[in-house]
Amino acid sequence: MTPFQLLAIVAGIAVLRGVLSLRPVIAGTSGRSTSIAREFLDPFIVAGVAAWVLITFVARTYYIPSGSMLPTLQIHDVLLVDKFEYRFHPPKEGDIVVFPPPIPTPDDFIKRVIGRPGDTLSVTAGTVLVNGRGLVEPYVADRPAYELAIRNYGIYVSYGAGWQRLDPASANVPPKSMWTAPDRIPPHCYIMFGDNRNDSEDSHIWGFAQDDAAFASGPRKGESAGFTGRAFLIFWPPSQARVL
C-alpha cells in the first residue's frame, strides 16, 4: 500500500466519522451514533495517521518481486526500508538501497551500492575494482560475465566482443560538464549492481543512479531522482528474518 492510498483510506474513515457525529440525535438513543463513531472509528483514524507518518518519513515495507538480488534476497521476501537515514549521510559502499531507476518502471528497484561519487571503478575478469581495490563479495551468486570500465566521461561494457559505450539516450550518463574527472564517478551518481550479477538489470545496463536533483540523461531525463531508503531488515518469511 502506498502512502497516498493509506491517506485516502484514513480520509474516508474521517468523513464517515464526521457524518455519524453530525447526525441528529434521535429521541431515546442518547447519542449512540456519536459514541460509536468515537469508540470504533477514532482509533482507526489515529492509527492510520501514525502509519502514514511512519511510511512517508521513517520506514516502509518493500516486497522483492525478482531474483536480481539472489542469494541475499529471495523472491517474495518482505523488507523494512529506512527512509530517514539518508537525510543525514549519503549511501555507503555495500548498502542495499531502494531507489527509482533512470528507466521507465512503475516500481522502485533494489540494488547494492558498489561505486560512489569520486570513485574509480571497473569490472575485470569477474572482479569489481573500486579505487584500484578488488572487492571481496561473498554475497554474489556468480562473478559477472561482462567487463565494465568508467573512462573518457562514460560507462563502457564488454561481453567479450569489443567495448560499447552506454548511450546517454537510453542510460543515465551525465554530459562531460557534470564530471570532475574522465575516469571518476560524477557527483551525486552511483554504480548499483544486483547480487545476481548476470541476471540483474542494473548500472551495467542503465547507467548511474542518482541521490539528488533530476536524471541527467536517458529516458527519464529531467525527472526527479533520489534514494527511497536503505533496506535493513528482512522480516518475512520468518525463516528468512535477519538484519541486513
Q: Cite the active site residues.
A: 68, 111
- Kindly tell me the sign of the dihedral angle through the C-alpha atoms of 76, 77, 83, 87: negative
Cα atoms in the Cβ-side hemisphere of radius 13 Å centred on 30 = 2
At residue 72's C-alpha, the angle toward residues 71 and 77, to 5°, is: 100
The gap between the terminal CA atoms of the chain, to the nearest Å, is 23
How far is it, in rounded angstroms, from Cα 149 to Cα 71? 25
Q: Does residue 81 contact residue 62 with C-beta atoms inside 8 Å?
A: yes
The owner of cell 581495490 is 133
